[in-house]
Amino acid sequence: MAIGKEAPPRDQRAALVPLPRREPEATHNPRLSDVDEWGRSEHTRQLVRRIYNPIYKHWFRAEWEGLEKIPRHGGALLVSNHAAAIPSDAPVIMHGIEEELGRPVYGLADFFFRTAPWLGTGWARGGGVTAHPDNALRLLRDQGQLALVFPEGTKGPSKTYADRYRLRRFGRGGFIEIAMRAGVPVIPIAVVGAEESMPILFRLPSVARALGVPYVPVTANMLAFGPLGTLLYFPAKFKLRVLDPITFDVPAGQERYSKSRVMDEAENVRMQLQETLYDMLRERRSVWFG
């Protein structure tokens, strides 16, 4: 009863109809989108997987070995070789793991993708994250996600066909330091097939400088398919081999780690991948049929 008001007469009170019970209002706003803090959208990923699946299964005919070595839970840094003028390995790796293990994969890539007006949004919706140590640390340590990185950077996909499957230097080993700080394993993945999917015959450095991009390639696909060849891959057979997880016997969370140790571990990962690639190439019967 409100203070300062008289009670209604008894007969009027009898005629009052009780109001329907109201549920307490939510104390937080409901999430109106499936876009997470990184810009990744599961709805977009589902759409991409549905469209990409025929390419994965019937064009590249991807085959995995050792997929069970990727953990079902917890953070891990996936490290792979990188190739093709428009890299074809990243979507194959991300699609395969998401389809087979049901785990999202965040691809760490150059800031260039994020700044492109329309490409940046689509790239983020599909699971792309700017390759920065803080981003990697949050994904791996704080959120326990799978993150994919290519330590060769742009040196990998800018290789000409004459240098195929020869790994470039893995930078200064930043990916090792991130894994140490996050306390997660590094899991190398060797990929055969990407080099032949869009091989570079030669590069146009003067055009690249004028455009302000890392490289401008002329590919065999362009010669075979004309303008369509800028986007159309050759149907190279993909084989992917997951190597044993590499862990580091150091405390997580330190600000700095021994630079010589970091460089040695990075070279160790590079050599493991390089030797595995050579083994896989020796075993391969054909570029097109594996």
250 belongs to a structural domain: yes
Helix (H) or strand (E) holding 221: helix 220-225
Phi-psi region of 11 (alpha: psi -120 to 50; beta: other; left: phi over 0): alpha
166 belongs to a structural domain: yes
Output the domain CATH number for residue 59.
3.40.1130
Give ∠ CA 36-45-147 in degrees, rounded to 5: 65
Containing structural domain, residue 52 = 37-283
Question: Which segments of the chain have a pLDDT < 50?
Answer: 1-31
In 3D space, the residue among 120, 88, 126, 137 whose CA is nearest the CA of residue 104 turns out to be 126
* CA–CA gap between residue 252 and residue 95 (Å, rounded): 30
User: In sequence order, which residues have a C-beta less than 8 Å from that of residue 60 and are 6 or more positions away?
Assistant: 88, 92, 193, 197, 233, 235, 236, 237, 238
The total domain count for the chain is 1
255 belongs to a structural domain: yes
30 belongs to a structural domain: no
Q: How many CB atoms lie within 10 A of CB 75?
A: 21
93 belongs to a structural domain: yes
Contact criterion met (CB below 8 Å) for 218 and 157: no
288 belongs to a structural domain: no
Please write the tens of the pLDDT for every residue from 140-174.
999 999 999 999 988 999 999 999 999 999 988 99
pLDDT at 290: 83
Please write the tens of the pLDDT for every residue from 50-63.
999 999 999 999 99
pLDDT at 34: 84
268 belongs to a structural domain: yes
3 belongs to a structural domain: no
User: Chain-wide mean pLDDT for the chain?
Assistant: 87
